[in-house]
């Protein structure tokens, strides 16, 4: 009887090890894929001549810029990390800068989709906010 219990525990630890390692691989893949410049898809078209661009660097910095035909204006920057749960990935944006806090972008964003050319993130802190992006470079 004890032998059966030991085999169950070994199997449980093996399954837990596989789950933890798969979460780590998924996190690394998302970190690699998110690095670069992303343009927000402007679904409202309130200012069609201006594009807001978020740039994620490999050191965990994110910067926001407004790009138009005449100028590129730096807005602010923050920090980011990817957090991986068993079947859900999150983009955690955290900062002490005032602009990011005022926009509501300092939050834990659920990554709904992250592909080579498109990304969709959403956060539910005080309401539902979804951002769609296209890769700029």
Residues 6+ apart with CB under 8 A from 39: 51, 52, 53, 67, 133, 134, 135, 136
> Predicted confidence band at 124 (pLDDT cuts at 50, 70, 90)?
confident
Position 13 scores a pLDDT of: 53
Of all residues in the chain, the percent with pLDDT exceeding 70 is: 74
Taken in order 64, 135, 119, 58, the sign of the CA dihedral is negative
> Predicted confidence band at 22 (pLDDT cuts at 50, 70, 90)?
very low
CA dihedral 91, 93, 35, 58 (to 10 degrees): -120
What average pLDDT score do residues 89-93 get? 95
CB 128 within 8 A of CB 120: no
Which residues are 11's β-sheet partners?
Answer: none
What is the spatial distance between Cα 63 and Cα 92, in angstroms, rounded to a whole number? 14
Find the range with the poorest average confidence among 3-17, 19-33, 67-81. 3-17
What is the domain count for the chain? 1
Report the CATH number that the domain containing residue 88 is assigned in CATH. 2.40.128.370
Position 21 scores a pLDDT of: 44
Query: Which backbone phi and psi does 28 adopt, to 5 degrees?
Result: -60, -40
Position 5 scores a pLDDT of: 66
Structure tokens at 108: 């834990």
Query: Which backbone phi and psi does 87 adopt, to 5 degrees?
Result: -125, 15
What average pLDDT score do residues 56-65 get? 94
Q: Give the domain range for residue 25.
A: 2-135
- Mean pLDDT, the chain, rounded, equals 82
Q: 13: which DSSP letter?
A: H
């Amino acid at each position: 009887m004890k032998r059966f219990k030991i085999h169950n525990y070994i199997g449980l630890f093996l399954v837990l090890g596989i789950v933890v390692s798969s979460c780590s691989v998924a996190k690394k893949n998302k970190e690699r894929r998110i690095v670069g410049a992303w343009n927000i898809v402007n679904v409202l078209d309130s200012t069609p001549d201006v594009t807001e661009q978020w740039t994620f660097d490999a050191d965990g910095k994110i910067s926001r810029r407004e790009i138009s035909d005449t100028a590129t204006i730096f807005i602010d920057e923050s920090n980011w990390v990817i957090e991986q749960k068993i079947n859900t990935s999150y983009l955690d944006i955290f900062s002490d800068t005032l602009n990011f806090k005022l926009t509501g972008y300092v939050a834990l964003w659920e990554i709904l989709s992250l592909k080579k050319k498109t990304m969709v993130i959403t956060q539910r802190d005080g309401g539902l906010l979804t951002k769609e992006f296209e890769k700029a470079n």
